[in-house]
Structure formats: C-alpha cells, structure tokens
C-alpha cells in the first residue's frame, strides 16, 4: 500500500492528503436541511448530512489527490450512526481509488491492539467465514504502550499489505509536555522516531517502509531532525493551514527524492467556502471551493519543494 | 460518578470491575450456534453471540459487583455490528445500575479529543436537539499528546459528572519501553502521574477526584509509588489474573481507607468456565462459572486488604 501511495503521489504531483473531519457546523445549510427533512434532527440525520458533505468534496477533488484521511472521532461523536457514515466514506473513497488513511490513533496492550488491527486493517473470523470491519488502507497508532502494543498492527499490515503512521511528534500546542522531555539528552519523540525506523526496517515497500510516522507541520525543526532519524519512513504531516503550517516550512519533512512526506489539511480544504479567499463560490458550491483550496495547497507545497530541491 | 462508584464499592465490598472483553472463542458453542442459526456466520451473527454472552454474564454477576469495563476494541473488530453490541452492552449494564467504564483509550489534539469526549461521555448537538452517542460513565484516555489532548475530556466530565482513567503505567510487558524512561531522574510514568494528580485536584468528588489513572497490576512496586503521587486519584488496575497479578500484590494500590483502587479482571471472569477450577459448571452454565470466579476474586482481594489494613 505504501507503493500505491507513492505511485499516486507521483501521478498527481500532490504530496497531500485531504482530512475528512466534518463538523456539523461545516456542512452548508442546504445539505443539513435536506438531511433533516428526510431523517429529522436525529443522529441519523446528522450522519446523512456529513456523508453527503463528504461525497461532494470527494467528487470534486478525487482526481487531484492521492489520499484522504477521515478522522474517526468526528464520526464517533454521533455514535453508531456516525460510524456508519465513516464506513460509507471509507468505502466510497476506495471506490474512487483513493488511499484511505484511517486517523484512529488506537493503541493498547497486545491482544487488544490485535483486535483494533483486525477491525481496521485486517479480517475477522466468524465461524468458517472472514469479514473486513472498517478496512482502511493505513491507520494511525499511538505508541505510548511500547512495542507489544504496536507489533499486532504491524503483523496485520504485513499480511494485508497495508501500513501505519505512528504518532511521534504531534501538532498540538502541548505535544511537548511529554514528547519533548529529555531522556539521556534526547527528547522522547526522537526515541519514538528511532523505534519507528527500527520497526520499519523489516517492513519495506520498494523504496519506503510500510511503517510511517506522524510529525506535526507546526514543529518544522523537529521535522528536520526526525526526517534524518527515519530516512525510510513516510511522514504524515498534520497541522498545515488552519493549525498554522505553510509550504515553505515543510520542505525539510521531505527527502531529496522529493518524497517521504504527505501533508494533511482538513478544515482548510473541507470548509474552504467559509474562508474569505473562497467566499465567491458560495455555500451552494462548497465542493468547488474545496477543489480550489486543494489546487492552492498543491501549488504552495509543490512550489516550495521545487524551489528547495 | 466517582461518588457513585465508591458508594457501590462500599455496598458490594468488592473493589473490582469485570472486563467485558469477549473474544468469539470465549463464547460457548451453544450461544454461537443459536446466533449463527438466526443471523448466519456474519458480523451480525458474531455481534449477537457476544451480546448474548455478555448479557448472561451480567445477569449472573451484577448484584456482586460495582462496575464493568467493556473493551471497545473487542467490539470494533466486528465493525459497525460489533459496535452495536458494545452500545447494547453499555445500555444494559446501566439498566442494571452498574457503573460502566468504557475502555476506549482515546486521545488526540484538542478539537478531536473534544469529539471523542462528546461521543463517549457527553451529548452532541443536532439542530435544536441533543443526543448521547455511547454514553459510558467513565472512559480511559491516552495522555501521549499532553494537557490539551486531555482537557476536553475533563471539560465534558465536569459538565456531565462523569470521570476518566488516564493511562499512567500500563500492564503489558513492554510498557516500560517509553513509560519507564528517566526524565531528570524520574520515570515518565511518574511525571504523567503527577499531571493526573494536578488535573484531578480541580475536579474532586466527595473524597476522590473524577480524574483517575490506569496502573497495571503487573507492576506492584510502581503502583505503590504512584499511589503516593496521586493520593486523591482512583486507580484502575488491569492485569489481575490472566495477566499475572494476585490480591496480595495489590494492597499498595489502595489507600489506608481501603479505597482508591478498582481491580479489573476480564478473561479470568468471562471465560472462567474454560479454567480447570470452574470446569465443573460446564459450557452451558458459563454464567455460573463467572459468578464463582467473581466471588473468588472478591475474596482474594478483600482478604488481602483485610489482612493488610
């Protein structure tokens, strides 16, 4: 799957991923109204609204981008109905040949991580049959529990040719509270990065590993260090746009081959029609606003890469 | 909710929680067969089997115990259908007046943690209405992202009078890989424990805080230290029984008031009928085997506490 991701990045010339993290407040009135007319102001109605919102954005952008990253929390907040919309979104994006990164940030003791890995990346046995639960292509994983909490995910990835992005240095303001603490003179995130590199070595695609890392766009200096610590790991970079990162800050997340990173934007793309720059599209044409925002993001990042490499 | 938990522990004289973590392989043949006859060997059939399994165990033990802890991964592995069984289990346990600790180990950047907190502990706004998604009483939370990843959970707990157990020192063999690393001479888990105590101070119930911690039964020495670091935090102690912990090893997780900890057993209770000690019950009477295992666990832990305090 890492080979497919790289192939698609090269074809689209777009090392970016669209974060499908819909808040109900991002969904234009006319979509909400239609969903509520059909299902009432219910969890089902909310789920229908975010699914229709996602579908329009995917329809208007899928030819420009290699991948999407639905954030499962945004669906989980609507309970079972929300998770049905998550699953519909995953399936629809796959039908459009997009690589789907499930932003699930799971992680637990071994047997429990194995269950998460089965549910999101693998297949579960039921009597004589097997079924895929959520069936994303990649998943994000939290490393706090150590190797035996991560390995069950790696095992399933090996079997299914899927991949991981493991949290190393997250994009939020207080990520340093634990992640930056020095251990023998080195910050914890670097230690986790070294582990990611180790785990990744045994699970290589053609040029990059199945096992990648998450490093926030908001920490470009740490990104430059971690790029060297994990030379063969793809870095998923959240925090572009709404959280503050810009293309020129991100060149050191990439290797000299112009690869090695994929930058996520969520709100900046999916709620583009609410920004002044794209207001001319109007709420009715929110999908076109998202397309224009994707084009601008690609130009910003690819431009910065072309200038730097 | 911490007051209710303590009240129930005192009434049942049982500082324990039953982990409802059903693997399909734990579910007796006759339950599986009935579910598969009705729904086929499908995800729906698997979900029905684990729900019926849970229901019988709850029916046979609810009067002895204060709380249950369903591990959501075990349901998530069966996709949407599995999560429906999770929700049914949560609701059923609440109808039996059990305190429900959702073992979800979520944690993300602020806005995303807010969505998880809303979905599991709070209420989500849909138009003019509000709905609870999963509606557990407590949730477990992963602290790797720092304060701003934890605070949205605390905010919802405050509003809803619910609680948290934050991962401090987990029960698995490789938990030390990152958690034991020394920072200025102190292990990371102690630093996290200090944060839990701080977060907890502002969110007190009558005698203990809404904000508790997870510390594995498999690390009794660390448990003794952390007990002192977080005097007002309840400690959820996984790893009893199947993972290796015993009652006498656990007395130092408690305070001198005989409170302050709640010990979880999952496989040891729910799959008791598979153990030699309870084989006499037979698979047909697996619920009675679980009841006997609960009684033995209470005697082991309460006995150790009575001897020590």
Residues of A in contact with B82 (CB under 8 A): 119, 133
Q: Which residues of B touch A118 (CB under 8 A)?
A: 77
Q: Which residues of B touch A124 (CB under 8 A)?
A: 43, 46, 77-78
Q: What pLDDT shows up at residue B243?
A: 63
Q: Which CATH number is associated with domain B2-308?
A: 3.20.20.70
Task: Report in angstroms the alpha-carbon separations of B308 from A120, A292, B301.
Answer: 45, 69, 11
Q: In whole angstroms, what is the distance from residue B35 CA to residue B24 CA?
A: 12
Catalytic residue chosen out of the listed positions B88, B96, B105, B274: B105
A42 touches chain B (CB under 8 A): yes
- Buried/exposed B128-143: b ≥16 CB within 10 Å, e otherwise: eeebbbbbbbbbbbbb
CB atoms within 10 A of CB A159: 12
Q: Is B71 on the interface with A (CB under 8 A)?
A: yes
Report the Cα A302 to chain-centroid distance in Å. 19
As a whole number of angstroms, the distance between CA B245 and CA B247 comes to 7
Nearest to A76 among B46, B133, B192 (CB): B133
The answer to whether B57 and B18 are in contact (CB under 8 A) is yes
- Which residues share a beta bridge with A139? A102, A164
| Helices B147-160/B110-120 angle, 10° precision | 30
- For residues B268 and B63, give the distance between their C-alpha atoms in angstroms, rounded to a whole number: 18
Distance from CA of A236 to the nearest CA of B (A): 15
Is the Cβ of A25 closer than 8 Å to some Cβ of chain B?
A: no
Contact criterion met (CB below 8 Å) for A278 and A285: no
Q: Number of C-alpha atoms within 13 angstroms, CB side, residue B47? A: 23
Long-range contacts of the stretch B31-34 (C-beta < 8 A, 24+)? B31/B56, B32/A127
Q: What's residue A110's pLDDT?
A: 96
C-alpha–C-alpha distance, residues B256 and A53, integer Å: 56
Q: Catalytic residue at A248?
A: no
A307 and chain B: CB distance < 8 Å anywhere? no
Domain borders along chain A are 2-308
Mean pLDDT, consecutive 10-residue segments, chain A of 309 residues? 96 97 97 98 98 98 98 98 98 98 97 98 97 98 97 98 98 96 97 98 95 96 97 96 78 96 97 97 98 97 90
Ordered DSSP codes for B143-157: -TT-HHHHHHHHHHH
| pLDDT per residue of chain B (309 residues) written in tens, 0 to 9 | 999 999 999 999 999 999 999 999 999 999 999 999 999 999 999 999 999 999 999 999 999 999 999 999 999 999 999 999 999 999 999 999 999 999 999 999 999 999 999 999 999 999 999 999 999 999 999 999 999 999 999 999 999 999 999 999 999 999 999 999 999 999 999 999 999 999 999 999 999 999 999 999 999 999 999 999 999 999 999 999 866 668 888 999 999 999 999 999 999 999 999 999 999 999 999 999 999 999 999 999 999 999 987
Q: Tens digits of per-residue pLDDT, A41-75? A: 999 999 999 999 999 999 999 999 999 999 999 99
Helix (H, G, I), strand (E, B) or coil at B105: strand
CB contact under 8 A, B115 and A74: yes
Distance, CA of A81 to CA of B116 (rounded, Å) = 15
A-chain CB neighbours of B124 within 8 Å are 43, 46, 77-78
Backbone angles phi, psi at A105, to 5 degrees: 45, 45
Please report the pLDDT score of residue A246 as a whole number.
82
A74 to chain B, any CB pair closer than 8 A? The answer is: yes
């Amino acid at each position: 799957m890492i080979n497919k991701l790289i192939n698609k990045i090269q074809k689209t010339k777009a090392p970016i991923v669209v974060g499908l993290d819909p808040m109900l407040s991002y969904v234009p009135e006319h979509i909400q109204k239609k969903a509520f007319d059909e299902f009432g102001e219910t969890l089902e109605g909310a789920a229908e609204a975010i699914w229709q919102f996602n579908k329009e954005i995917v329809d208007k952008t899928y030819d420009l981008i290699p991948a999407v990253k639905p954030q499962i929390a945004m669906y989980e907040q609507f309970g079972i109905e929300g998770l049905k919309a998550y699953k519909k979104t995953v399936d629809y994006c796959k039908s459009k040949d997009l690589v789907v990164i499930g932003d699930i940030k799971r992680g637990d003791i071994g047997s429990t991580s194995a269950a998460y890995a089965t549910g999101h990346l693998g297949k579960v046995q039921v009597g004589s049959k097997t079924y895929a639960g959520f069936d994303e292509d990649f998943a994000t994983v939290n490393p706090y529990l150590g190797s035996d909490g991560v390995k069950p995910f790696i095992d399933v990835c090996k079997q299914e040719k899927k991949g991981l992005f493991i949290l190393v240095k997250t994009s939020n303001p207080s990520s340093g509270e634990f992640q930056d603490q020095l251990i023998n003179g080195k910050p914890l995130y670097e230690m986790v990065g070294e582990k990611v590199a180790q785990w990744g070595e045994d699970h290589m695609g053609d040029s990059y590993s199945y096992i990648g890392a998450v490093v926030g766009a908001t920490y470009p200096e740490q990104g430059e260090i971690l790029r060297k610590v994990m030379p063969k790991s793809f870095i998923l970079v959240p925090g572009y746009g709404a959280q503050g990162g810009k293309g020129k800050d991100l060149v050191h997340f990439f290797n000299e081959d112009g690869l090695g990173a994929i930058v996520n934007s969520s709100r900046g793309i999916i709620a583009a029609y609410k920004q002044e720059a794209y207001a001319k599209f109007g709420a009715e044409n929110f999908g076109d606003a998202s397309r224009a925002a994707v084009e601008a993001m690609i130009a910003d990042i690819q431009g910065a890469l072309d200038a730097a490499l």
